[in-house]
Chain A
Amino acid sequence: MALATRRLAAAAGIDRAPFEDFIIDEARLLDERRFRDWMALFTDDGTYWVPAVPGQTSPFDQASLFYDDRDLMKTRIDRLEHPRIHVQTPPSRTAHLIGNVVIEEADQGKGEFVVGSTLIVVEYRDDAQRLFAGRQRHRLRRHGDSFRIVQKRVDLINCDSAFEAMAVPI
């Protein structure tokens, strides 16, 4: 109930379409392995966070699967472009499906919004296919006629399980 109320209040008068388009485009950059373009969507203080336990409250005192600031994102992407990244030989192919998009918070004054969505990612690599699913939250900041990502947080439903190597961002 609390969630539904907040959603209605936040979403009042806001067109969901541009937000939905933005996060669909963001996912497509990952599927197309345009990692540098993907990184450019983040603000200078932007972070990409995939917690390692459900409901993780902080990346500072607990292990996370991913918690990249722009510097670490750059190192990650330099590596993804390296010809001798063994865990990407052959490379992963991914398909992201995004749905159930809601605007959870809106601060028109600051031009900041939190957009929640449900995510399914299928990854295929080296004769094996696997599935990731979860809920993601994008904290977006208005930037010209588009947005920049202040934080992308992906809560995988199996975030605390043991994973085989994950080489590409979810």
Chain B
Amino acid sequence: MLEKMIFGRYIPGNSFVHRLDPRAKLSFVFLFIIAVFLANTAMTYAILVGFTLLVIFSSRIRLYFLINGLKPILFLIIFTLLMHLFFTKGGVLLFEWKFIKVYEEGLRQGIFISIRFLVLVLMTSVLTLTTSPISITDGMEDLLGPFKRFKLPVHELALMMSISLRFIPTLMDETDKIVKAQLARGSDISTGSIKQRIRAVIPLLVPLFVSAFKRAEDLAVAMEVRGYRGGEGRTRYRQLKWHWRDTMVMALFVVLVAILLLLRG
């Protein structure tokens, strides 16, 4: 059940997107998230979707897999769509049934916001699917480097991030094991009233918290024992290298923004 989740997962590969410098990918996705809000016409949204598909295609991740992994947030997308359909007014009245009224503007907004949401999620998923957690944090640390001057604990933040990313799969495995152990003891998560189901979660949450804390403690001790003392004077084994293709990707972003600015209404 959990093995279909794709958040925070990394699929090793050697595509164009995989080989990009994590700094380029991070800044690109960050800027892209802002640029998405530039779109406001059907044409500009189409360009966003097209561009996202292009990125997915060049990352060589199977579209089917990506979509399958998005199922958990499909609910959220449908929810926003419905909210807009029923509550945004303006334009021609398209449909009326008792107290439900759907306006043209509502449909338009609903579809646009859903696309915006979908594009954002797809793009960030591609980022984490094609970049190993270590590279992401290395890139992050590098990009945030200038803020060290303002006493921002950049290294510590990056470390916290890499540890949390690192433990997502571990905790998932752990959850799976505990679910199985409690199922074997006759616990029932998928049937019964809502109250019963909520109560059935307790036997999963308690052991999970206990083991997460234990793990954190073990990790702290292991780091302490190996003389970890923060980022001061720490060097890296894997140096990040900015290539031609990274500059090209940033240039591509400028082009994308230019097109969006030209075509937006």
Chain A bound to chain B:
no
